[in-house]
Amino acid sequence: LGGVAAPEAFQQRLKNMQVVLHNQDNREHDLLDSDDYYQFQGGLTVAIRALTGKNPHTYFGDNSIPENPRVRHLREEIAKVYRSRVINPKWIEGVMRHGYKGAFEMAATVDYLFAYDATANCVEDYMYQGVADAYLFDSKVQKFIQEKNPWALRDMAERLLEAHQRNLWQSVSAETLEELRAIALQAEGVVENRGF
């Protein structure tokens, strides 16, 4: 038998929701490894906010050890992933061994961080600054990305600028914004010269 469309019933369910919980049963991936996570949790959060005018409580359920499940606020989990992987020099060095794909992974991480913030309001200003410092303002890392994947360099700079334009990244200096604009323009020039 086929299903029956019931958008009003779905809207009513969303209006009654107060909590959005994402459970994860392994630690092989984190919330900033895939767009699936923000699409589900962030998307549901936005839908509830659009219908109720209020943000639901957002949580992350770590069920990687079934006998010892842990639940954290989404903000706490994002901060944990930020510290342990996103700006971790060992992770950055590791992905740099993968050339083009490594630079792509760095850009994807920035995209997912931004998307979680745009949907669930869970990223602090210092995280945007930290990503800019670790990926774009570090001369060795910037040179690597420029050589291996200038598209990723351009995209990261533009995404960080967009975070500021959308008031997600509020506490940022004019010098930082200028430097990001310069990186984006310079990377765009490299992309255009390559003819792709």
Global pTM exceeds 0.95: no
The pLDDT of residue 194:
74
- Name the burial class of residue 184, with classes exposed (0-12), middle (13-18) and buried (19+) by CB atoms within 10 angstroms of its CB: buried
Q: Where are the beta strands (DSSP E) in 27-98?
A: 57-62, 70-73
Tens of pLDDT along the chain (196 residues)? 678 999 999 999 999 999 999 999 988 889 999 999 999 999 999 999 999 999 999 999 999 999 999 999 999 999 999 999 999 999 999 999 999 999 999 999 999 999 999 999 999 999 999 999 999 999 999 999 999 999 999 999 999 999 999 999 999 999 999 999 999 999 998 888 876 5
**What is the token pair recorded at 174?**
């004019």
> Do residues 121 and 142 make contact, with C-beta atoms less than 8 angstroms apart?
no
The pLDDT of residue 128:
98
Give the number of other Cβ atoms within 10 Å of residue 40's Cβ.
Answer: 13
CA atoms of 156 and 72, how far apart (whole Å): 28
The pLDDT of residue 36:
92
The pLDDT of residue 138:
98
